[in-house]
């Protein structure tokens, strides 16, 4: 029974992306979500940045428009809050009169050769550049990796980005039914 309780307490929602990127989340209270971005060595050694983001689950436009994006500049350990305006490099929230509502822990942890970055934000930041995140809601979860130029993110390639469908719950586990198809699309099978 004790083992079952310990295992049950360790649950977090999880979405798997290509390159073995993984995003996990948990809700430490009713107002906050903690994210854990797993960045494997191949991404650290090959790219300058990686990012994840959210669009509302009923969104029909599958571009980056109407999305809330979080980009991590890997070597400088900087996490940017960005707003998706379409298929262009998304601007920082502050450049649109909004705020960076992400709180990145100072240090990442390691699991083998994978870095794990923990960051938090309020579920509803009341920031017009952010999408309110609600426990239990469906979202299109986006991912991308790319290079840096003069210290900032530049556009990813067509093959280094994509999106998947999932639910923001602590018991959601990506089952692979909507994995990357090579064109950035997703297929919802259930």
Whether residue 181 has pLDDT greater than 60: no
Whether residue 65 has pLDDT greater than 60: yes
Q: Can you tell me whether residue 138 is helix, strand or coil?
A: strand
pLDDT by residue (tens digit) across 81-95? 999 998 888 999 999
CA 142 to chain centre: 7
Answer whether 76's CB lies under 8 Å from 151's CB. yes
Whether residue 177 has pLDDT greater than 60: yes
Predicted confidence band of residue 175 (pLDDT cuts 50, 70, 90): confident
Mean pLDDT, the chain, rounded, equals 88
pLDDT of residue 76: 94
pLDDT of residue 69: 97
Q: Taking Cα atoms as reference points, which of 159, 156, 166, 130 lies closest to residue 18? A: 159
Q: Specify the range with the lowest mean pLDDT, choosing from 9-13, 40-44, 118-122, 174-178.
A: 9-13
pLDDT of residue 179: 61
Predicted confidence band of residue 4 (pLDDT cuts 50, 70, 90): very low
Whether residue 41 has pLDDT greater than 80: yes
Q: Specify the range with the lowest mean pLDDT, choosing from 40-49, 59-68, 103-112, 141-150.
A: 59-68
pLDDT of residue 11: 65
pLDDT of residue 77: 94
Q: Which whole number is the average pLDDT over 29-41? A: 97
pLDDT of residue 158: 82
Distances (CA, A) of 149 to 48, 146, 155: 9, 10, 10
Predicted confidence band of residue 60 (pLDDT cuts 50, 70, 90): confident
25 Cβ partners below 8 Å, 6+ apart?
12, 13, 14, 33, 34, 35, 36, 168, 170
């Amino acid at each position: 029974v004790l083992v079952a309780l310990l295992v049950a307490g360790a649950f977090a929602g999880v979405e798997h992306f290509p390159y073995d990127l993984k995003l996990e989340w948990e809700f430490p209270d009713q107002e906050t979500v903690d994210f854990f971005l797993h960045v494997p060595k191949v991404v650290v050694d090959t790219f300058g940045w990686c990012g994840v983001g959210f669009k509302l689950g009923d969104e029909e436009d599958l571009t980056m428009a109407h999305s809330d994006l979080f980009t991590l500049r890997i070597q400088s350990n900087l996490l940017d809050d960005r707003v998706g305006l379409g298929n262009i490099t998304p601007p920082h929230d502050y450049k649109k009169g909004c705020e960076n509502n992400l709180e990145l822990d100072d240090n990442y942890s390691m699991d083998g050769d994978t870095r794990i970055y923990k960051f938090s934000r309020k579920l509803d930041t009341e920031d017009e550049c952010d999408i309110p995140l609600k426990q239990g809601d469906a979202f299109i979860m986006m991912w991308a990796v790319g290079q840096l130029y003069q210290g900032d993110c530049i556009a990813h390639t067509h093959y280094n980005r994509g999106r998947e469908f999932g639910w923001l719950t602590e018991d959601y586990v990506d089952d692979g039914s909507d994995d990357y198809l090579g064109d950035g699309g997703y297929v919802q099978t259930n």
